[in-house]
Amino acid sequence: MPERQRATVVLHPDFRIGAVDRRMFGSFVEHIGRAVYTGLYEPGHATADEHGFRRDVADLTRELGVTTVRYPGGNFVSNCVWEDGVGPREEREPFIDLAWRTIEPNQVGTDEFLQWAEREGIEPMMAVNLGTRGVAAAAALVEYCNGEAGSKWADMRIANGREKPYGVRLWCLGNEMDGPWQIGHKDAHEYGRLAAEAGKAMKLVDPGIELVACGSSSMQMTTFGSWERTVLSYTYDIVDHISMHAYYEDRDGDRASFLGSGTAMDRFIERVVATADAVGAQRRSDKRITISFDEWNVWYLESRFAGGENLPLQRDAPRVIEDVYSALDGVVVGDLLVTLVNHADRVPVACLAQMVNAIAPIMTEPEGPAWRQPTFYPFAETARLARGVALDLRVQAPSVTTALHGAVPLVTAAATWDDVDGTDGALALFLVNRSGEPVDVDLTHPGLRVELTGGVQLLADHEPAVEGPEHAAKVAAACLSTLGAPPAGTGDGSTTVTLAPESWTALHGTASRI
Ligand SMILES: O=[N+]([O-])c1ccc(O[C@@H]2O[C@@H](CO)[C@H](O)[C@H]2O)cc1
């Protein structure tokens, strides 16, 4: 019998990447398809609250553990006139959203979203339109959201029924302005100048806000790298973060490449960090730009998206990019989260794109149920368990050469320790086996007593995903399981954990210094 594959993971309490910012577990609600209408919001639904928002979706959002939600786009934001979406609903006019070629009914806008987020205890992240609009509209929206009584836009908010400022801290300076599909697409110089001026004005309205400059829409953009360098050369002193967007998919059944997506994400992050740091170094700046990975997910994009001009004009919340996910997609989502946790020092903000119906972990039917896709579980579990500091693990694992990403390790791992006074606290371990064979992982932890009390495992499936709550429930029953406690490891000893083929595992317990 061939010997079982092995990997080793070393964790040490003094080797730390950095604190995990809770905003890493953000998501995204765009005015696209049924994300808002019949997703988040459906006044006639049996579970609707007095504001028209679905309680079943809010309950799943809470279970998902989302900390931050980005709004209102996405491509949508680049042709959105925010002033038309506030005030009495009966006076708001529908308009054509050019990004997704849909008639936007304009019944949910800034106030409705921000009040929903507040009720749900979620930190909002707003985007301003730098596609068809500019400095004044961006500064006015900050004032509308965050201003105290006594000036025009703040008083408009108060007249619309909201006295207290919302205190929105996170702001995106447009969306994917490097993408030719973007309404008001710009080159890096045009965008960099505009973002710097809009950002300056926005911070003059509220100096407490954090700003995100648009990075590249993907690492495959031909302008990748030079875009970040040029944009940051204009905005370095104004912005706090640069955005990253990445979507991965199973292409032509190449499972090895798909399962290696987390390594591609890892390299993407390191390249953006290197580019940002090079701009900072040249400026002799001590400031470090961090990353807002504000769109990431599995998205079967190649088959669906070819720019808005290919979409028919639709109305009444059409079904747009409602990808149906498999447990394999769930394992990849779990692995992408491993990459994010391992970059906790440079990625304080990240958003799973999106949250409801459009490429989303939560699905709904109009007048019907809401349910979890397989991608829901690794996100919820990681958001729940990844607290405290990310530990700087040493992982040794066999590797495989993939068609898309070259060599990738077959085992990936991340760990967080919520230590109290640096002595003891909750430990969480996230492990992915990308190979088709089981792997024994020897976990060594010098200086730490580790006791793992249980966990959750998601196994990849081989079936095509089928739409609907019944199939999603069947996949969860077949692929998701609760694990008992692996054998306790003490002192300098090691704990061995066997990972099932093509699986994602989260283990939890405690770790204390000896
Ligand atoms: O790589 N692409 O071809 C590509 C195309 C569109 C695209 O759009 C982004 O993804 C959309 C869905 O989340 C958001 O509205 C937008 O910001 C993101 C990437």
In this predicted structure, what is the pLDDT of residue 131? Answer: 98
- With a 6 Å cutoff on the Cβ, whether 297 touches ligand 1 is no
Task: Look at residue 303 and tell me whether its pLDDT is greater than 90.
Answer: no
| Cβ(75) – ligand 1 distance below 6 Å | yes
Tens of pLDDT, residues 402-437: 999 999 999 999 999 999 888 899 999 999 999 999
Q: What is the pLDDT of residue 402?
A: 98
Pair of tokens at residue 160: 């619309």
Query: Is the CB of 217 within 6 Å of ligand 1?
Result: yes
Q: What is the distance between the alpha carbons of residues 426 and 482, in angstroms, rounded to a whole number?
A: 18
Mean pLDDT, rounded, of the chain: 95
Give yes or no for residue 27 CB within 6 A of ligand 1: no
pLDDT for res 306: 56
pLDDT score, position 1: 58
Structure tokens at 389: 């500091």
**Nearest alpha carbon, ligand 1 atom 8:** 75
CB of residue 215 inside a 6 A radius of ligand 1 = no
Q: What is the pLDDT of residue 488?
A: 57
Ligand 1 centroid–CA 72 distance in Å is 14
Contacts of 214 (CB under 8 A, 6+ apart): 130, 172, 173, 174, 175, 176, 177, 178, 191, 195, 231, 242, 243
pLDDT given for residue 447 in this prediction: 86
Average pLDDT over residues 267-280: 98
CATH of domain 6-13+390-513: 2.60.40.1180
- In the predicted model, what is the mean pLDDT of residues 200-228? 98
Mean pLDDT throughout 129-142? 98
Pocket probe for ligand 1: among 34, 75, 222, the residue whose CB has the most ligand atoms within 8 Å is: 75
The ligand 1 atom at the shortest distance from the C-alpha of residue 297 is 13
Q: Where in the chain is the domain with CATH 2.60.40.1180?
A: 6-13+390-513
Q: How many whole angstroms separate alpha carbon 121 and alpha carbon 369?
A: 23
Higher-scoring residue by pLDDT: 463, 54 = 54
Tell me the pLDDT band of 492, cut-offs 50, 70 and 90. Answer: low
Q: What are phi and psi of 387, to 5 degrees?
A: -135, 155
Q: What is the CATH number of domain 25-386?
A: 3.20.20.80
Residue 25 three-state SS: helix
CB 170 within 8 A of CB 212: yes
> Computed from CA positions of residues 134, 135, 137, 141, in that sequence, does the dihedral angle turn out positive or negative?
positive
Instruction: Provide the β-strand partners of residue 197.
Output: none
Instruction: State which of 36, 97, 129, 176 you would mutate to test the pocket of ligand 1, scoring each by most atoms of that ligand within 8 A of its C-beta.
Output: 176
Quote the CA–CA distance of 26 and 169 in Å, as a whole number. Answer: 14
Alpha-carbon distance 46 to 38, whole Å?
Answer: 12
Q: Tell me, in angstroms, the distance from the centre of ligand 1 to residue 395's CA.
A: 33
At residue 23, does pLDDT exceed 80? yes
Mean pLDDT in residue range 45-50: 98
User: How far is the C-alpha of 195 from the C-alpha of 191, rounded, in Å?
Assistant: 6
Q: Give the number of other Cβ atoms within 10 Å of residue 55's Cβ.
A: 13
Q: Looking at the predicted structure, is the pLDDT value of residue 126 above 70?
A: yes
| Cβ–Cβ < 8 Å for 466, 452 | no
In the reported structure, the alpha carbon of residue 217 is separated from the centroid of ligand 1 by a whole-number distance in angstroms of 7
State residue 420's pLDDT score: 81
Confidence of residue 305 (pLDDT cuts 50, 70, 90): low
The answer to whether the bond into 354 is cis (omega within 30° of 0) is yes
Residues taking part in catalysis: 176, 295
Q: DSSP of 342-382, one letter per residue?
A: TTTTT--EEEES-SBSSS-SEEE-TTS-EEE-TTHHHHHHH
Residue 173 phi/psi, 5° resolution?
A: -85, 75
All CATH 3.20.20.80 domain ranges of the chain, comma separated, are 25-386
Q: Which helix (H) or strand (E) holds 191?
A: helix 188-205
